[in-house]
Amino acid sequence: MKKETICIQGGYTPKNGESRMIPIIQSTTFKYDTSEDMGKLFDLEASGYFYTRLQNPTNDLVAAKIAELEGGTAAMLTSSGQAASFFSVFNLAGAGDHVVASSSIYGGTFNLFNVTMRRMGIEFTFVDPNCSDEELEAAFQENTKCVFGETIANPALVVLDIERFANAAHAHGVPLIIDNTFATPINCRPFEWGADIVIHSTTKYMDGHDASVGGCIVDSGKFDWMAHKDKFPGLTTPDESYHGITYAEKFGQGGAYITKATAQLMRDLGSIQAPMNAYLLNLGLESLHVRVQRHCENAQKVAEFLSQHEKVAWVTYPGLPSDKGYALAQKYMPDGTCGVISFGVKGGRAAAESFMKELKVAIIATHVADAHTCILHPANSTHRQLTDEELIACGVGPDLVRLSVGIENVDDIIDDLAQALDAI
């Protein structure tokens, strides 16, 4: 099936007389006739449900749809994108291990890696996504367990050369994990370019309606854990906390990674998505292909408008031919990139503030990538504690405005921006 059809029909095929929409199984527990039946589930001898912290049928149907969309072999939902990022790495790396990550990643992911996971004993080396081959090569260590990057970084909007990073990772016998939140599988399927694991903050375009926080992890099933047995003992040697199961042997290349993350990490850390939220996520997925296309069409027109406006100092949008990421975007996302644009208003912090006050269609919100057009001035909100010099040093200048273009009529969005720019 093509991705538009998978958005609607993937993951769930109702049988005769069953509900057309996925059922919401809002139940913590599942009943069994005998304790032998249940014992088989605990031994991972039979598949089935016993407790929603480990698995829930509603969540599994939605995860299966996302796995199909990405072209993967297995997937799981998590309570948030942050939980998905954490699990994706922690499933492979522990204290004493090392990870190579792109320096252009979501701020929350950067904190997770650079502060919280460092405290857990995992080391990170951050590399500029446009670094030289030598610099990339030099980032790897003996104990490197994976490479992490974002298809289009939030908020820097830097496009990652996925193929180059995949080749580097594979040359060192480790998988590439890609956060594909901004591109979505509608615009880019990282597995087709060599990525091994994909994660999402489903809170963004996938849900798409400001309705529910969630995350997802998808495995391509392409990484051969057994060929790198010593690097990944968690997958290739018996798990004593799970009756001595060796995940890579029992569940094969296509199932080992997600089964381990479910049976071990979800069991112990419990970052589950509520079945009701998974249902809402599925509603969002049904229109993902239509919405993403409109987000990109609208954002392209808005970016073109802004780049020609005399009061705008600069525009970053990978769909503009003048953009640094344009060539890579054309390669990886020929049908469109995302709906998020960043730009600078001439006159710096004060001009950006007065511009924001005048907006009526674009709402001020700490969020991106959903149906409603929204805007954020980091210098005045998320990065408020920093001086102008510090802001410039971290790549988020005092004049930077992040605009997430929604799916309203684009003329209304442009008129709104125009009147607010005129009022500066």
Ligand X SMILES: *Cc1c(COP(=O)(O)O)cnc(C)c1O
- Candidates 3, 145, 189, 204; binder of ligand X (CB under 6 A) is 204
Nearest CB to ligand X, comparing residues 213 and 261: 213
- Candidates 23, 71, 94, 108; binder of ligand X (CB under 6 A) is 108
Residue 148 φ/ψ region, left for φ over 0, alpha for ψ in the -120 to 50 degree band, beta for the rest = beta
For residues 417 and 315, the answer to whether their CB atoms sit within 8 Å is no
Q: Closest distance between ligand X and the C-beta of residue 211, in Å? A: 12
CA–CA separation, 299 vs 373, rounded Å? 10
Nearest CB to ligand X, comparing residues 181 and 298: 181
Q: Closest distance between ligand X and the C-beta of residue 340, in Å? A: 9
Nearest to 172 by CA among 227, 130, 120, 121: 227
- Candidates 201, 236, 273, 404; binder of ligand X (CB under 6 A) is 201
Nearest CB to ligand X, comparing residues 117 and 235: 117
Of the listed pieces 25-33, 63-71, 176-184, 318-326, which binds ligand X according to CB under 6 A? 176-184
223 to 262, contacts with ligand X by CB under 6 A? Answer: none
Q: Closest distance between ligand X and the C-beta of residue 309, in Å? A: 27
Going by DSSP bridges, is the β-strand pair 197-201/176-179 parallel, antiparallel, or unpaired?
A: parallel
Q: Which residues pair with 217 in a beta bridge?
A: 76, 199
Using CB under 6 A as the binding rule, whether residue 207 contacts ligand X is answered as no
CA–CA separation, 112 vs 124, rounded Å? 11
In the bound state, the residue with its beta carbon closest to ligand X is 81
Nearest CB to ligand X, comparing residues 231 and 291: 291
Nearest CB to ligand X, comparing residues 209 and 346: 209
46 to 105, contacts with ligand X by CB under 6 A? Answer: 80-82, 85
Nearest CB to ligand X, comparing residues 56 and 151: 151
Going by DSSP bridges, is the β-strand pair 197-201/215-219 parallel, antiparallel, or unpaired?
A: antiparallel
Element (H, E) at 216: strand 215-219
- Candidates 91, 109, 220, 300; binder of ligand X (CB under 6 A) is 109
Place of tokens 């030598």: 134
Query: Is 230 exposed, middle or buried, given 0-12, 13-18 or 19+ CB atoms closer than 10 A?
Result: exposed
Nearest to 61 by CA among 135, 123, 27, 10: 10
Which positions lie near ligand X, rule CB under 6 A? Answer: 80-82, 85, 106, 108-109, 150, 154, 179, 181-182, 201, 203-204, 213, 215
